[in-house]
Amino acid sequence: MTSAMITFYYCYPTCAMASHLALEESGLPYQPVLANIYDEGERARYLEINPKGTVPAITVEGELVTENVAILTYVGRLAPASGLLPEDPWEAARCLSFLAWCSSSVHVAFRQSFRPERFTPDAAAHQSLRDVGRAAYWKALQAMDARVADQPYMMGDRFTVADCYPLVFYNWGLIADYPVTELPHLRAFKDRMIARPAVRRVLDREGCPLLPG
């Protein structure tokens, strides 16, 4: 499947932006397709492609792969010359460890703060879930801020797939009224990211307000 066209499904403002950024940076040929999972009719049609009904997703020769960590790893391995996934096994493991943390911890904390009903139907527990999730998400943003205090990107001097998720998290922080602009290193990281032509193309395609008007 290495030479086959990738069809990529996304929807703003979801985490699909992370895989979208990697695909655009990779130089690989791919077809971006907007899958509006917030529209009942479009979601019903999309379920025929991806029964999970989630984005991101890719199809290659009719085969489906979902979840950012899997797609980011696939893109990085498919385009080794891009440097998106470190060649050194130890550095690759560190990169994947960071992605797993983003997916299993940071993303979950935001979901808990933003959509507590997905965790329990008990409305009386929703505010407590929001508070716990919000605190955990802010702590994660602070950790990312510290990570880029003395290096331009999450893994060091070079852009990798590890940098794709944090831009999503910065944008979500703005959407949910976190004081992300008070994190100087993460704010500078955001500026470096949106200075990249591939990142700007993705932000423009998705209609993300991080891109200056």
Return the closest-CA partner of residue 8 out of 211, 100, 26.
26
Assess contact for 26 and 79: CB atoms under 8 A. Answer: yes
Residue 156 is classified by DSSP as B
CA separation (Å) from 42 to 6, 47, 170? Answer: 21, 9, 28
Provide the 3-class DSSP secondary structure of residue 46.
helix
Please compute Rg for the chain using Cα positions: 17
Q: Domains in the chain, please, with CATH?
A: 6-82 (3.40.30.10), 89-196 (1.20.1050.10)
pTM flag (> 0.95): yes
pLDDT higher than threshold 70 for residue 3: no
Residue whose tokens read 């998720």: 165
Mean per-residue pLDDT, 127-150:
98
The per-residue pLDDT of the chain, averaged, comes to: 97
**What would the pLDDT profile of 21-60 be if each residue is shown by its tens digit?**
999 999 999 999 999 999 999 999 999 999 999 999 999 9
Q: Which residues on neighbouring strands pair with residue 59, listed in sequence order?
A: 7, 64
Assess contact for 211 and 204: CB atoms under 8 A. Answer: yes
Q: Any residues with CB less than 8 A from the CB of 92 and at least 6 apart, and which?
A: 85, 86
